[in-house]
Amino acid sequence: MGDTTRQPVLEETLGDAPTTHAKLLAWVAEVSELTQPDSVYWVDGSEEEYARLTDHLVEAGTLQRLNPELFPNSFVGSSDPKDVARVEERTFICSEKEADAGFTNNWMDPAEMKAILRERFAGSMRGRTMYVIPFVMGPLDAEQPQFGVEITDSAYVVASMRIMARIGTDVLRKMEAEDAFFVPALHSVGAPLEPGEADVAWPCNEEKWIVHFPEERSIWSYGSGYGGNALLGKKCYALRIASVIARDEGWLAEHMLILKLTSPEGKAYNVAAAFPSACGKTNLALLDPTVEGWKAETLGDDINWMRIGKEGELRGVNPEYGLFGVAPGTGWGTNPNAMRAIAKGNSIFTNVALTDDGGVWWEGMTEEVPAHLTDWEGNDWTPDSGRPAAHPNSRFCTPISQIDMLAQEYYSPDGVEIHAILFGGRRKTTIPLVTQARSWTNGIFMGSTLSSETTAAASGAVGVVRRDPMAMLPFIGYNAGDYLKHWGTIEAKANPERLPKVFLVNWFRRTADGGFAWPGFGENSRVLKWAIERIEGTADAKETPIGYIPTGESIDLTGLDMTPEQVEEAVKVDPAEWKEELKGIEEWYARFGDALPAELAAELKQLQARFA
């Protein structure tokens, strides 16, 4: 490790006045006055710059270069053990009025919050470089490009942002030409360096603040260098702030993958699916269909911006540029498409284990477990160490362009028509493998009552069932009741013939012996086939109180060692389980108070009546 007391002052790429965008210049000046960095650097997004940044991160001990024969141009780093996931309890929506944040969000008066944050940010970049990253979420040639600028004192964030979003000088030039609005996104790890003080590999602060000002459309993030806390284009902008913009402009910003499926007859369908964090979006987005004759192509794995198209169809765009995927469970057996994308290199891995030959490993990557590893915390590890080698929320960060099965339409600013929407959670009981909603409103009911066991993607207890409306609980940037109302307004704006059909899925149901009721992963293509055949009107279904479920014979089991009776078990609606579930839904809906849309209260009443 070299002298890490100072980050090298990277040369200015754009001279003294790097932009003609007056608002941006003023904001950069204001922030640098407040945070007192050693130097200010405008990120150009070039490959050469990326090489310098990663060299610097290697020298600082934040990253290690992987064996280029195994993973070319790739790096691995470990975070501080106290900075490994999103921190929902430290995430705030600071709307002017508390009611506009609603009961699902933490709230504080914006002026009060600004006072706290100014204190934290004062001098917070001392001894560090302040990086200015112009970025755009979605294609730069969109009709209305959604610009942002992240200011950060973390080179790791800059390198990761280059993978996850379109960044750099091209973006800045377009922003200037249009004198465009941009979301100011301020980030500091909150670890200033005194003169002569040595840096640590992963600077961060015990105290974390992930704060959104929805009216101002601004973001202030302090104290964490990790994932959704720090890569501000992702959850903070593309979901929390964008959901507010979407409410005001009549569209939807959702926590969804987008997958294109082509039937053996050559007909294409695009499916969007909302599953909570670490519940299978990336896996379904990179699906390797096991069902004969079907082709799958990826459009997105985490975020879907949906607007109403010219013909009243719902169109989805993935605003991201990379994958920030859960590593554990991603393997050659379960997700070979992700593995192939990762193997092309150009990736940053965080909190995974290191193999002795300079590669990476995590639980589930290969069937054979290596005899020796260096675990994510840098300790020696063997299979009988009794602890996981990779952190459960360890991640790979990889350019989306490296996915072989990426759909061409990914690059289109108009996106794709969405034909089906899936809501899904991680539930051991009660929720069938798949259920088709009776109507759009019934589909919103399913989404609004979605529930899932918590995962390692957020700090806190794992495995606790909680309601997670549209898989957006931690990401709705305003009042959750208003959010559900907004979903309701889509029906009137859309062409009724073109409204997506809605389904509820659960890949995680267990049988009495504790095993999974459904094999999942590539086999999920069989469920998607059924859903599409329902749209086409050719698949059989059975009506139940909660919606339409497949008959045992209607799921294509060709080549799968499973019987129609086992399918019936996986889709069964058990009245005793639903009696409990209805109680949970009732309690959940009660929390919305007056903000609950009347048509959803009516949906619950009807469901209760059907079970009575």
Chain positions contacting ligand SPV, by CB under 6 A: 86, 227-228, 234-235, 277, 302, 324, 457
Write the DSSP assignment of 194-228 as a string of letters. Answer: -TTPPPPSS---SS-EEEEETTTTEEEEES--SHH
- Residue 298 binds which of ligand GTP, ligand SPV, Mn ion, none (CB < 5-8 A, kind-dependent): none
Output the CA–CA distances (angstroms, integers) from residue 179 to 134, 173, 248, 440, in the order listed.
Answer: 13, 10, 21, 40
Annotated binding site for substrate: 86, 226-228, 277, 393-395
302 near ligand GTP, judged by CB under 6 A: yes
Q: Which of residues 520-559 bind ligand GTP (CB under 6 A)?
A: 520-521, 524
Active site residue 397: no
Q: Quick one: which of 211, 242, 318, 255 has its CA closest to 457? A: 255
Q: What's the one-letter identity of residue 155?
A: A
Binding residue for ligand GTP (CB under 6 A) from 131, 182, 226, 275? 275
429 near ligand GTP, judged by CB under 6 A: no
For 388, phi then psi, to 5°, come to: -65, 145
Per the structure block, which two tokens stand in for 594?
């007056």
Q: What are the residue ranges of helices labelled H in 363-479?
A: 440-448
Binding residue for ligand GTP (CB under 6 A) from 507, 530, 578, 592? 507
Q: Which residues contact 48 (CB under 8 A, 6 or more apart)?
A: none
Q: What's the one-letter identity of residue 312?
A: G
Please report how close the Cβ of residue 401 comes to ligand GTP at its closest, in angstroms: 18
Binding mask 254-283 for Mn ion (x = CB under 5 A): -----------------------x------
Residue given tokens 């062409």 in the structure block: 495
Per the structure block, which two tokens stand in for 179?
């004198």
- Residue 488 binds which of ligand GTP, ligand SPV, Mn ion, none (CB < 5-8 A, kind-dependent): none
How many CB atoms lie under 10 A from the CB of residue 540? 14
Please report how close the Cβ of residue 458 comes to ligand SPV at its closest, in angstroms: 6
Per the structure block, which two tokens stand in for 578?
């639903």
Measured CA to CA, the distance from residue 38 to residue 141 in angstroms comes to 35
- Residue 86 binds which of Mn ion, ligand GTP, ligand SPV, none (CB < 5-8 A, kind-dependent): ligand SPV
Q: Which of residues 307-326 bind ligand GTP (CB under 6 A)?
A: 325-326
For 145, phi then psi, to 5°, come to: -60, 140
Of the pair 224, 448, the CB lying nearest ligand SPV is at 224
Of the pair 472, 531, the CB lying nearest ligand SPV is at 472
Annotated binding site for GTP: 278-283, 395, 426, 521-524
Please report how close the Cβ of residue 397 comes to Mn ion at its closest, in angstroms: 13
Choice among 94, 204, 279, 397 that is catalytic: 279
Output the CA–CA distances (angstroms, integers) from residue 271 to 238, 432, 458, 500, in the order listed.
Answer: 20, 19, 26, 9
457 near ligand GTP, judged by CB under 6 A: yes
Please report how close the Cβ of residue 424 comes to Mn ion at its closest, in angstroms: 13
Of the pair 201, 456, the CB lying nearest ligand SPV is at 456
- Residue 227 binds which of ligand GTP, ligand SPV, Mn ion, none (CB < 5-8 A, kind-dependent): ligand SPV
Of the pair 160, 525, the CB lying nearest ligand SPV is at 160
- Residue 235 binds which of Mn ion, ligand SPV, ligand GTP, none (CB < 5-8 A, kind-dependent): ligand SPV
Per the structure block, which two tokens stand in for 366?
């290969």
Output the CA–CA distances (angstroms, integers) from residue 273 to 129, 299, 480, 497, 519, in the order listed.
Answer: 39, 12, 19, 20, 19
Per the structure block, which two tokens stand in for 190?
């909150």
Measured CA to CA, the distance from residue 236 to residue 224 in angstroms comes to 13
302 near Mn ion, judged by CB under 5 A: yes
Residue given tokens 């004759």 in the structure block: 293
Angle, helices 22-35 vs 110-121, to 10°: value is 60
Query: Closest residue (Cβ) to ligand SPV?
Result: 228
Please report how close the Cβ of residue 456 comes to ligand GTP at its closest, in angstroms: 9
Q: Footprint of Mn ion on this chain (CB under 5 A)?
A: 277, 302
Task: Return the active site residues.
Answer: 279
Q: Footprint of ligand GTP on this chain (CB under 6 A)?
A: 275, 277-283, 301-302, 325-326, 328-329, 334, 457, 507-508, 516, 520-521, 524
